[in-house]
Amino acid sequence: MVASLKNRIALVTGASRGIGAAVAKRFAKEGAHVILVARTQGALEALHDEIVAAGSTATIVAMDLRDHNKIDELGAQIAQRFGKLDVLVGNAAILGDLTPLAHADSKMWDNVISINLTANWRLIRSLDPLLKASDAGRAMFVTSGVAGYARAYWGPYSASKAALEMLVNTYALEVEQTSVKVNLIDPAVVRTNMRASAMPGEDPLTLPHPDSITDIFVKLASPEFAENGRRFNVSKT
């Protein structure tokens, strides 16, 4: 089988575990050089070693996406080393506390908005020139079902994902005359630490493993993929 992402440069945020790690490994298997972005150095090193052992390549970037100036520095570093970015996966997110809005802690709110929304805007701002330098720049951002409807106690997370969808759809319109394609992916219910935090009484073994949903990420990352400004739900693809 021909590697569909051979020689592509792909950046994945939240790459140390869950969906991010699964997508990073799959991209590497498909031939991409993957830039692994997350806060936890040790987890990134373990993932890097796994990717290299499988015969692929990766670069570790241990950083906190709340440090937005570091995102600008990341763009400069990618430009200097690679001169372009072929694929961006904005996956990193935090749940925050499930609590009534009137009781929500302001620091928690700020953290959720900073990581789930503002960091993705900063990624767009920093990496847009590099995506346009690619012959087929592809960007995808991970959203959630609760972006589309109100759910009691989920206010900060839901608001951040609803805003993310508007942000991404706006960016998609702004690049529609370029070779860049920008889309959203709703992974639905997946076996992740975030899901376990939200639903502690649920048996995680009854849920799909993150490895099982990576096909859609590869599809949207492919240079041949031509759709823009769409929202893909894994359970419906």
Please spell the DSSP secondary structure of 184-220, one letter per residue: EEE--S---HHHHHH-TTS-GGGSPPGGGGTHHHHHH
Q: Residue 106 has which token pair?
A: 């302001």
Q: Of the residues 149, 153, 157, 171, which is catalytic?
A: 157
Backbone angles phi, psi at 139, to 5 degrees: -125, 135
Q: Which residue has the tokens 């929202």?
A: 231
61 touches 94 (CB < 8 A): no
State how far the Cα of 217 lies from the Cα of 191, in Å rounded to an integer: 17
Residues 140-150 as b or e (16 or more Cβ within 10 Å = b) = bbbbbebbeee
Whether 157 is catalytic? yes
Using the 8-state DSSP alphabet, how is residue 218 labeled?
Answer: H
Catalytic machinery residues: 157
